[in-house]
Amino acid sequence: MKPDLPHPPVTWRTHYALAVLATIYVFNYIDRLVISILVEPIKAEFAISDTQIGLLSGVAFAIFYTLFGFPLGRLSDRIGRKPVVALACIAWSATTMLCGLATSFALLLLCRIGVAVGEAGGTAPSVAMVSELYPERRRSTALAVFMMGPSLGAVIGLGLGGWIAQTYGWRIAFIAIGAPGVLLGALLALTVRTARPAARRKTDDGEAWTTTLATLLRTPSFLWVIAAGTAAAVTGYAMGTWNPSFLIRSHGLDVKQAGLLVGLGGGLMSTIGTLTCGAVTDRLIRRDRGWQLGVAAIACSLSVPLGVAFYLWPAGIAFHVGGLPVPEAFLFYLAFSFTATWWSVPCFGAMSHLFPPQRLAQATSLFVMSITLLGVGLGPILAGGLSDLLTPGLGADALRYALAAIVSLYGVTVLCLLMAIPRFRQQRSLAAAVV
């Protein structure tokens, strides 16, 4: 790994660019997650099973996201991040709106594939762009601001999406949620200024993609980081897709109530947790570089018992917020939401320290492709299939036990992070010695 070049100063334009990218990432996840609060009305209209819902929200999305992820990441390493992210944002937002016009399960599936192709060009180039905007000592905090996307996306996508679906129907929810992203893509293209470093243009233009891929996969600790993120994503996407349905089936809530609880309660706690993670990581890595991943290992180990308690705690209302009933089990979910997202910022930050600019988006795209293919692809359908399998014996509680089993995969994340830490620390020490 080559030593870092002097970093340009951080100005208001830097912060503005981060704000626009973070807002786009919020809508990336709004468009991705809104389908989870619409599961029940979509099932009722098209008469489909939980397994088909898993296919719609998981496998189909993940396959096409993965197919386009690395090529679009490589394109952004060559021509710049901004044009790729801007066009991708417009594309996934437009196809989200088209989901609301689908007249059959097949057409809805096709539209979700369009969302996947668009979103494949969003995350990896955006992470690379944020990493280039900020120096190493401030990078985890900047990435934490950016990585609020999933949490705030849950707040808006599930909370607002549930309200719109309850009031106007699930089709209007898709259209209303997708529309702002078209404007955000144009805003990024027209108002954000980004430099395209000469070093990035010259270093990698003649390198074959197979050579780049082989170099990335030979990097110490990278495969362990990918494995850690993938295991966490399987659990996270399974929970994100099925939590509203779990609250509806096992705790007697309606669509609007489930959306508000998961979106506002869980989303806000995840947002606070993500920002806390970034600040803590930036502070601790000044003492020991191993804390870049050690922070994530500790938080994920706490998440397992909290998640299991959420799913297995018996039905019962703890209190009401206005007219909104809050189940006792949901209190465990609030604590889980605070710690469960702590794997993302450290993992994305680790890659920004491992790879030079001309390979950063491609490395990040490999990570995102893996967590999407297995996380988005396997998580929802695994939970849905296990729920269908358990339904004859457990009835409405089948989903409860399916999700309780899947949350244990956070233990795999912890093991992978522990394997990655010494390798990451060694590589960072070697890079510092070169400087």
Q: How do the pLDDT tens digits run along the chain, 435 residues long?
A: 444 455 667 788 889 999 999 999 989 888 887 887 788 888 888 888 777 777 776 677 778 888 888 888 888 888 888 999 999 999 999 999 999 998 888 899 899 999 989 998 888 889 888 888 888 777 888 888 888 877 777 677 767 877 888 888 889 999 999 999 999 999 999 998 875 544 444 444 556 778 888 888 888 789 999 999 999 999 988 888 889 889 988 898 887 888 788 878 887 898 899 889 888 988 888 888 889 899 999 999 999 999 999 999 998 888 888 888 999 999 999 999 999 989 988 998 888 888 887 788 888 888 988 887 787 778 888 888 899 999 898 887 899 999 999 998 899 999 999 999 998 988 877 655 544
Question: Is the distance from CB of 52 to CB of 105 less than 8 angstroms?
Answer: yes
In a domain, 1, yes or no: no
In a domain, 3, yes or no: no
* CA max distance for the chain: 63
Here the CATH number for the domain that contains residue 67 is 1.20.1250.20
Alpha helices in 55-169 (DSSP H): 60-79, 81-99, 105-119, 123-133, 136-146, 149-154, 161-168
pTM score = 0.75
Domain of residue 386, residue span: 12-434
In a domain, 250, yes or no: yes
* Token pair listed for 106: 């097949």
In a domain, 6, yes or no: no
In a domain, 29, yes or no: yes
Phi and psi at residue 253, to the nearest 5°: -85, 160
The 10 Å Cβ neighbour count of residue 137 is: 11
Burial call 308-337: b when 16+ CB within 10 Å, e when fewer? bbbbebeeeeeeeeeeebbbebbbbbbbbb
Question: Whose CA is closest to 187, among 368, 44, 19, 302?
Answer: 19
How many structural domains comprise the chain? 1
In a domain, 55, yes or no: yes
In a domain, 5, yes or no: no
